[in-house]
A and B are shown apart, each in its own frame.
Chain A
Amino acid sequence: MKWEGYRSSTYDELFEPGGQPRPAARRLIEYLKGLSDRDLAERQLAADLAARVMGITFTVYSEGRNVDRTLPFDVIPRVIPRAEWTRTEAGLRQRVRALNLFIGDIYGEQRIIKDRVFPSALLKESANFRPQCVGVTPPLGVWAHICGSDLVRDGDGTLYVLEDNLRIPSGVSYMIQNRMVAKRVFPELFETSSILPVDDYPAQLYDTLAAITPRPGTPPVIALLTPGIYNSAYFEHCYLAQSMGIELVEGGDLFVDSDDCCYMRTVGGPQRVDVVYRRIDDLYLDPECFHPDSLLGVPGLVRAWRAGNVALANAPGAGVADDKVVFTYVPKMIKYYLDEDPILPNVPSYLCTQKRDRDYVLAHLEELVVKPANESGGYGMLIGPRSTKREREKFAKLILENPRNYMAQPTLALSTAPIVTPDGPQARHLDLRPFVLSRGDIYVTTGGLTRVAMNAGSLVVNSSQGGGAKDTWVVDTEDGA
């Protein structure tokens, strides 16, 4: 594989600006150089095939026919030196600890508001604040048991937190499966390099869920609640349920009885459920409590949760802290709750509620990325440098109408890594989603899911919008680099 023509317009994860491989990637690049283009194409083909055979799919439902699509996978891994990862991991632990304290505080005493660190006005207008959760103390004080934080690297090499997903973050199954594919494709490299393993996630997740059972001492009955086969993450729901050996249930399989306990309907009669790993959004979780017309949820589930008879992961209302406006306060939360300085910086952000920020945003729409506070999946954004005049005018109007619902960030020169293309290796932008499990102690995945924008120049990595994935290697280098 020839690297002479490889260029990145920004920070590259595998190459230094001078074109030398970074220390942690040296062995990989040497190895890739030894492969002919044909070898590489064959391996890419083998990877695509393996993904299909292993059934790594996400579901696209359209025109009454369901299609399983495979997530595009690029064989060249993204490499992170272990020393950098250790620091990142510490930063994530710190962050998720503060986030859980914040959520608990918001639904409890609201000290952070009383101490004027966090404005109460933001809470009043938050779409993800759930009054139904006020006064609840979930087991271990944990609200966001599973957190997926998106990290991006700017042109100068700084790793920033772009957002935290505290509701129902997905993608972890791709992380594990990507590694399985990579092992099939590059077995030689795994023999000679020390690449840290990622496959203990399901066991860690199981421990996390088991830790919050309301009936300690008896083997917990745990179920993963899925919206069903038409959900785009259904593959992941199946995969996780299978690899943890827990039940995969739909709303209709569960019911809450008059004793405020949650049961599943089995062929042997009702069986009590202790922990529900729910992959259904808050608002559809319990028609008794939220959207009354939801058919996906379980009537009375929140009642059973409030009574302490069933544990929900993540807890309802945890999303209050992944609002993109609340996000801008995380560094202050870390200082406030932990009295520590944030290890990982936030992407700089402008709040449209504050006049000075708002004026700046409106004057610089062309340079900024504007995001709605509560959307996920890359929907409803304005990417300034790529926008048309008409789109900018539309967003200016939206911002003035509802400033609370918008925040803006500078367009980062997201870092790149090479992908295989018919024209040789080419740089593509990427991000990283590590997953963080909280249950008393905190577990962070080794690396995470690297999402890559497969189209040249694109900054959008979401799988629903043409993104693909890479395996992520946290590598021990001999020289400790």
Chain B
Amino acid sequence: MLSRVAENLYWFSRYLKRTENTARLVGVNSLLQLDLPRSVRFAWQPLLDILGAGDAFRALHPESQDEAAEADVVHFLLLDERNACSMLSSLKQARDALRTIREALPQECWERVNGTFLRLGEEGEHNLGRRYRLDLLNRVVDDCLVVSGILTANVSRDIGFQFMRLGTALEQADMTTRIIDAGASGLIRPRGAEEIEAYQAMQWMSVLRSLAAYQMYRRHVRQRVSAAHALQFLLQNREFPRSVMFCLVRMQAALPLAPPRRAVERALARAQALARDADTRVLAETGVAGLMDEIQIAIAGLHASITETYFRA
């Protein structure tokens, strides 16, 4: 397989996953915000920082210090092309990658991705308000899932498919740590200290929902939602496909056999160890930001070694 094609397959699946996760994250938090009483403030700012878009946003909206306005943030996270991580930018990059490898994937993939991209460009702006936002985001999520369904059902399990699996798993592991981070950093800001606990559970439920994990959590954990349990489920569960550990184990299975891949294996082992060895009870007390950063750095290293080993050799 051509390195260029393999790399584009990898990036296509990463951007597709990123698009889906961004849509989900904004959607769930939009809902969460509706549940909060007036006395509780919802801060959008951390969401920007977690998606790596905080600085870019502040540069464009210097007037909004801590109190980033919802409309501005939502637009920036979803449709702003000046934000390289916005949902639309991610989808555009998925589409650009796919364009150059159209012949490698089923035609329906292109049609779906292209159709979603064109629709977002045409109707996105009008549907950002609270009234239509969820419909818009749900359709994007659905479209992404249809594409992964087509890939799973109709694409041969050749080496190209392995690179798509690598991209999907790596991106999901990364997004999961970011969404955990966002939840833990306190999007909800109650005014009184006594309310903190009550809203914490709500916050973690929303994290689980952002990762489509709430139902699976209930079935498998059989405990009311708490920070420690949610963390453990999202970080270490080996059966839920969006948990960090599940993704990293899956990557192990998807690594192509040739050429030698010692650097990739070392990087993968490092990331796995961080997720596996985490003491989620302690983390729930002391904060997760540090560990999430470490895992993200390990994932970035893993990405670099994949690029080096397979695409630049």
Residues of A in contact with B (beta carbons under 8 Å apart): 54-55, 66, 228-229, 238-239, 241-242, 247-250, 252-253, 264-269
Is B59 positioned at the interface, with any CB of A under 8 Å from its CB?
Answer: no
Within 8 A of A (CB), among B107-127: 107, 110-111
Chain A nearest CB, measured from B108 CB (Å): 10
Point out the residues of chain A lying under 8 angstroms from B57, CB to CB.
Answer: none
Is B153 positioned at the interface, with any CB of A under 8 Å from its CB?
Answer: no
Q: How far is the CA of A48 from the CA of B99 in the complex (A)?
A: 22
Is B258 positioned at the interface, with any CB of A under 8 Å from its CB?
Answer: yes
Residue from the set A66, A250, A253, A265 with the largest chain B CB neighbour count within 10 Å: A265
- How many B residues touch the partner, as a band? 20 to 34
A267-B256, A267-B310 known; A253 and B2 CB under 8 Å?
A: yes
Q: How far is the CA of A143 from the CA of B131 in the complex (A)?
A: 65
> B259 to A241, Cβ gap below 8 A?
no
Point out the residues of chain A lying under 8 angstroms from B100, CB to CB.
Answer: 228-229, 250
Chain B nearest CB, measured from A326 CB (Å): 36
> A264 to B2, Cβ gap below 8 A?
yes
User: A250 contacts which of B4, B258, B310 (Cβ < 8 Å)?
Assistant: B4
**Residue of chain B at shortest CB distance from A254:** B2
User: A242 contacts which of B103, B111, B259 (Cβ < 8 Å)?
Assistant: B103
What total of A-B pairs shows CB separation below 8 Å?
47
Point out the residues of chain A lying under 8 angstroms from B310, CB to CB.
Answer: 267
21 sampled A-B residue pairs with Cβ under 8 A: A54-B107, A55-B107, A55-B111, A238-B102, A238-B103, A239-B103, A248-B103, A250-B4, A250-B100, A265-B3, A265-B4, A265-B313, A267-B2, A267-B3, A267-B159, A267-B256, A267-B310, A267-B313, A268-B258, A268-B259, A269-B259
Point out the residues of chain A lying under 8 angstroms from B34, CB to CB.
Answer: none
Q: How far is the CA of A253 from the CA of B8 in the complex (A)?
A: 13
> A229 to B1, Cβ gap below 8 A?
no
Is B311 positioned at the interface, with any CB of A under 8 Å from its CB?
Answer: yes
**Residue of chain B at shortest CB distance from A239:** B103
Q: How far is the CA of A242 from the CA of B106 in the complex (A)?
A: 11
Is B6 positioned at the interface, with any CB of A under 8 Å from its CB?
Answer: yes
Question: Across chains A and B, which 7 residue pairs bring their CB atoms closest together, nearest first?
Answer: A238-B103, A265-B3, A267-B310, A267-B6, A242-B103, A267-B1, A229-B99
Point out the residues of chain A lying under 8 angstroms from B3, CB to CB.
Answer: 253, 265-267
> B2 to A249, Cβ gap below 8 A?
yes
Mask of B91-102 contacts with A, CB within 8 angstroms, 1/0: 000000001101
Residue from the set B2, B4, B310 with the largest chain A CB neighbour count within 10 Å: B2
Mask of B154-176 contacts with A, CB within 8 angstroms, 1/0: 00000100010000000000000
Point out the residues of chain B lying under 8 angstroms from A267, CB to CB.
Answer: 1-3, 6, 159, 163, 256, 259, 310-311, 313
Q: How far is the CA of A247 from the CA of B100 in the complex (A)?
A: 13
Residue from the set B100, B103, B163 with the largest chain A CB neighbour count within 10 Å: B103
Point out the residues of chain B lying under 8 angstroms from A264, CB to CB.
Answer: 2
**Residue of chain A at shortest CB distance from B258:** A268
Point out the residues of chain B lying under 8 angstroms from A241, CB to CB.
Answer: 103
Q: How far is the CA of A239 from the CA of B102 in the complex (A)?
A: 10
**Residue of chain B at shortest CB distance from A68:** B114
Q: How far is the CA of A54 from the CA of B102 in the complex (A)?
A: 13
Point out the residues of chain B lying under 8 angstroms from A266, CB to CB.
Answer: 1-3, 6
Q: How far is the CA of A249 from the CA of B3 in the complex (A)?
A: 10
Mask of B1-25 contacts with A, CB within 8 angstroms, 1/0: 1111010000000000000000000
**Residue of chain B at shortest CB distance from A270:** B313
Point out the residues of chain B lying under 8 angstroms from A247, CB to CB.
Answer: 2
> B103 to A253, Cβ gap below 8 A?
no
Residue from the set A54, A238, A268 with the largest chain B CB neighbour count within 10 Å: A268
Q: How far is the CA of A55 from the CA of B310 in the complex (A)?
A: 31
Residue from the set B4, B163, B258, B311 with the largest chain A CB neighbour count within 10 Å: B4
**Residue of chain A at shortest CB distance from B162:** A267
Q: How far is the CA of A381 from the CA of B82 in the complex (A)?
A: 44
Q: How far is the CA of A264 from the CA of B99 in the complex (A)?
A: 20
**Residue of chain B at shortest CB distance from A241:** B103
Q: How far is the CA of A54 from the CA of B311 in the complex (A)?
A: 31
Within 8 A of A (CB), among B136-160: 159
Point out the residues of chain B lying under 8 angstroms from A66, CB to CB.
Answer: 99
Chain A nearest CB, measured from B18 CB (Å): 22
